[in-house]
Amino acid sequence: MNTCEQASRLSAYHDGEMSPDCRVEFERHLGQCPQCAAELDRLRRLTAMLGAARPAAIPAASLARLHRAVDLLPTTGIRRLAEALAGVAAAILLVCMIGLARRSDAPAATASMPVWETQAVAQQQAVSATATSDVLLASWMVQDLSGRSEHD
Amino acid sequence: MVRQIEKSVQYGKKSPTLSNHMNDHDATENGPLPQTDLELVREARHGDMDAFHGLVDRYASYLYGLAVSLIGNATDAEDAVQETLTGAFRGLRSFRQEASVKTWLTRILVRQAAAHHRRRGFRIVARPIDGAADPAGAAETAGADAQMDVRAAIDALPPDYREVIVLREMQGMSYEQIAQALAIPRGTVESRLFRARGQLQELLQAYLA
């Protein structure tokens, strides 16, 4: 374990990412610090090991598949747009169908009325029905009486 | 399939394979000057699919090698490259040329690889690899074993560390290029490299002692 406080600069020195001035200064430090010198040696061996692991080359079949996928890219965009538009149309249709269904079920709306309101409406309907039957009875009586007077 | 390979060869003629001087206009005696990356991007942006195929030919091998290094298996690596190219095609208009095309593609691929790791879950194997301790190994198999151990050690790194190690040690990118590709400060590149190398030294101590 390298305990030198300059150890964190080893990577930059090793990778050639130091300015020339810093490089000269750090080389002076390396000459005086056996810990950093030993770690630099390990870094060089590590880089050699990693560098020997060559990146994999792409197989011809994979390259052909990539080109085929690229050929489909322009239509992929159009297809995605069509799918999005179809989704929007389906959503609008669904909203319209729900609206129509609610309208046809309008009487069911009274089911959500409070009890007192339902009863009041029912009484009002009963009263109007009674009033209608009274008017009818009166007209029948008038007709009947006038018929009798004619017979008399 | 044959048609595709022929097509690939044809695109290959138009766009030479990736080199360190890929943006240079090197005059050739046999034909016109090769198009630069930016010219190909400009033409692809205007709907020229041949230009985009040219970019694929130029960078597919680089992206595939990088993807295998970051992800670890060929099938997922190919998927990541395909997703990268799809993302690049969709982002052609938003490419602002602040970075090179190679750095731009690298950035997309690194994100794809990170998304892959998030989907799959990540586990750290923080155990030193003792491959070199086997004295009975023949020279040839020892070399192959060392390669496998290096691969295993890279796979055992956290994704952040693996990215900087692969880009620096295997792709030879500078700190500035890595900073651009990963969208992180240069100082972060340096500190991540320092820690990543520290972990690799522990994992591969049998080879480095």
Alpha-carbon distance A105 to nearest alpha carbon in chain B (angstroms): 48
Q: Which whole-number Å values give the CA distances from A85 to A42, A54, A80, A94, in the listed order?
A: 60, 47, 9, 14
Identify the residue among B61, B73, B102 best suited for mutation to test binding to A, counting A beta carbons within 10 A and taking the highest.
B61
pLDDT in tens, A62-90: 999 999 998 888 776 666 777 788 888 88
pLDDT of B198 higher than 70: yes
ipTM of the complex: 0.71
Q: In 3D, which of B77, B80, B92, B115 has the Cα closest to residue B37?
A: B92
Which residues of A lie inside 8 Å of B (Cβ-Cβ)?
7-8, 10-12, 15, 17, 42-43, 45-47, 49-71, 73-74, 76-77
Give Cα B130 to chain centroid, integer Å. 28
Q: How many CA atoms lie within 13 A of B56 on its CB side?
A: 34
Q: Long-range contacts made by residues A25-33, C-beta under 8 angstroms, separation at least 24?
A: A33/A4, A33/A6
Question: Contact at 8 Å (CB) between B13 and B53?
Answer: no
Inspect the interface and report whether the beta carbons of B85 and A58 lie closer than 8 Å: no
CB < 8 Å to A35, chain B:
none
Q: Angle, to 10 degrees, between the axis of helix B175-182 and the axis of helix B186-203?
A: 100
Q: Give residue B65's Cα distance to chain centre.
A: 5
> CA dist A117 to A51, A107, A120, A131, Å?
86, 14, 5, 21
Contact assessment for residue B108 and residue B88, using Cβ atoms and an 8 Å cutoff: yes
Nearest-CA neighbor of B59 among B3, B105, B10, B125? B105
Place of tokens 């006038």: A146
- Whole-number Cα distances in Å, B12 to A123, B34, B40, B51: 90, 11, 13, 11
**Which residues in chain A have their CB less than 8 angstroms from residue B174's CB?**
17
- pLDDT one-digit tens code per residue, B140-184: 566 677 788 888 899 899 999 999 999 999 889 999 999 999 999
The answer to whether the Cβ–Cβ distance between A55 and B191 falls below 8 Å is: no
Residue B4 with chain A: CB contacts under 8 Å: 64-65, 67-68
Span A102-149, pLDDT tens digits: 877 655 555 566 666 667 766 666 666 666 677 777 877 777 777 655
